[in-house]
Amino acid sequence: MNVVRRQDQGPTGARCATVGFLVFALLAISCGAGCVTETRTPARTRVPEGAVARSSSGPKGSTGSASQGPIARPATDASTMSSRVTVALKPIGEIPFDGLVLPVLSPDASFLATQVGGAPSWDALLAGPDARAPYRTRIEAYDLRGAMPARVDGVSLPAGWLLGRGADERGFLCEVINPDGSRDIARVPWRGGEPEWLARTGGVNAHAALFGDGTVVYCARAIDEPRFSIVIERGGAVSTYSDPDASLMFPVPTPEGGAFYCYALTRAGGLELRLVRASSSGGDGFGVAMVWPLLEGGASAFDAYQCAARAAVRGGAPYELLAVHPRMGGAAIFDPVSESVAPLHRGSIAGAWIASDDPLRVLLSARDGLMHQQAARTGAGLSVSQAVRMEREPWVPVSTSDADFPWVLIGPEGSGAGSMLILVRMSLASPSDAAPGADQSSSE
């Protein structure tokens, strides 16, 4: 098979971004379903079979976005921050969605669960006190291993179930709002079968996520209580992290056993990002290892939802978090080592990690396209390079464990006929730090 790698001196893309695409990309931050812990995959030095490759280049060195709060130092050694990226793309096909919530993928991107029909209310999505089951909403599962996505007929769930925030190789998470206001969490097998009930306590259980070993972490409160605690269930043991002065929301697991990020909505109206670890003394206690203030007042559960959407933990220690910072105008890297925040490309709204020891590398969905950006660790924290635009369209990247195609790009179908999404597999076909303008045309 002949494949041409194209080296451009400017942005690349198959077609210009449309207003609808930009609206979709903005929804990706406020409505994306799923937090992701990145897995390390080997760098690819060839174009996988069936893919089309193209590359983008950017200037050497630059500064990060100016923002409020503690920020990363601009890059000063331009030679170490040059960037060129060659990607290979392989279309998957189209799947429906409800126009609001992005689908959830199995870790290897073999299966997908999507929410279709009428979009749920924000009270339902945020597990608010007035939440009601959205009976116009349905969930469908698709097998992505064939030439086109194929509906999994064995997955047949009652109307009104909500798609959860995560999945593993066994199945995807769902939430059920009961008539009495309580809320349950289940894992639904990818090929169909009886749901596995993970949290069914008679209270409000919501916003669950999964650790790498399948352990569930979720938010819980009594029906008549306003504040959430965070619960971890592992091996039959239940541990709870509570704060009487905050509602704790949207846990994001890390590969470090029992450690997670979460968002704290304080009594004073502030919003914090916290890194929480199991107590070193044993037992079921927790300790707050780090706090990043995000908003000082007027914050709401919706603000926490926006920040947590598509949040991604790097697979290697110290498990930095890639997530949106509400005061910095886009995504940022939260660094536990320096306790700092490194703002990334302004206007970025979602992202995924690229497995790399040094520098830290990310893919970003932004208003002006799919971007690539680097951050290098310095004595004072992180220094950030200028972002390089890879595609004109703001595709949302999702990490997978597929060694050939470590990411799936999600974007809307452009015909305007209903709510449909396009899925494309992506790999870095030939990552390099060579100077822009190098000859990258080849055939395989």
Selection from 87, 53, 84 nearest residue 428 by Cα: 87
| 78 φ, ψ (degrees, to nearest 5) | -60, -30
Specify the residue for token string 């449309």: 18
The per-residue pLDDT for 258 is 85
Q: Spell out where 108-222 has E strands.
A: 111-117, 137-143, 150-151, 162-167, 171-177, 183-189, 196-199, 204-210, 216-221
Going from the C-alpha of 301 to that of each of 133, 269, 311, the distances in angstroms are: 19, 10, 16
The per-residue pLDDT for 415 is 55
The per-residue pLDDT for 84 is 64
Mean pLDDT per block of 10 residues along the chain (444 residues) reads: 28 30 39 40 41 46 33 39 73 95 97 96 96 97 97 96 97 98 98 96 97 95 97 88 97 93 98 90 79 97 96 94 96 95 95 85 94 89 92 93 96 71 89 36 28
Query: Tokens in use for 371?
Result: 């971007």
Q: How far apart are CA 116 and CA 123, in angstroms?
A: 18
Q: How far apart are CA 378 and CA 376, in angstroms?
A: 6
| Strand, helix or coil for residue 287 | strand
Query: Tokens in use for 401?
Result: 């464990």
Selection from 122, 128, 223 nearest residue 180 by Cα: 223
Find out whether 369 and 15 touch, Cβ atoms under 8 Å: no
| 22 φ, ψ (degrees, to nearest 5) | -65, -40
The per-residue pLDDT for 413 is 74
Q: How far apart are CA 196 and CA 210, in angstroms?
A: 14
Residue 410 belongs to what H/E stretch? Answer: strand 407-412
Selection from 136, 170, 140 nearest residue 154 by Cα: 140
Query: Tokens in use for 121?
Result: 């209310």
The DSSP result for 143-157, as a single string, is E-SSSS-EE-TT---
**Whole-structure pTM value:** 0.81
User: Cα 183 vs. chain centroid, distance in angstroms?
Assistant: 24
Find out whether 384 and 72 touch, Cβ atoms under 8 Å: yes
User: What is the maximum span of the chain, computed from C-alpha positions, in angstroms?
Assistant: 65
Neighbours of 380 (CB within 10 A): 10
The per-residue pLDDT for 381 is 85
User: Cα 9 vs. chain centroid, distance in angstroms?
Assistant: 29
Q: Spell out where 22-130 has E strands.
A: 36-37, 52-58, 73-74, 83-96, 104-105, 111-117
Find out whether 79 and 435 touch, Cβ atoms under 8 Å: no
Selection from 342, 331, 437 nearest residue 394 by Cα: 331
Selection from 257, 258, 262, 259 nearest residue 229 by Cα: 262
| Strand, helix or coil for residue 184 | strand
Q: How far apart are CA 56 and CA 11, in angstroms?
A: 7
Rg of the chain taking only CA atoms, in angstroms: 21
Taken as a whole, the chain contains a residue count of: 444
Find out whether 84 and 57 touch, Cβ atoms under 8 Å: yes
The per-residue pLDDT for 146 is 96
The per-residue pLDDT for 414 is 63
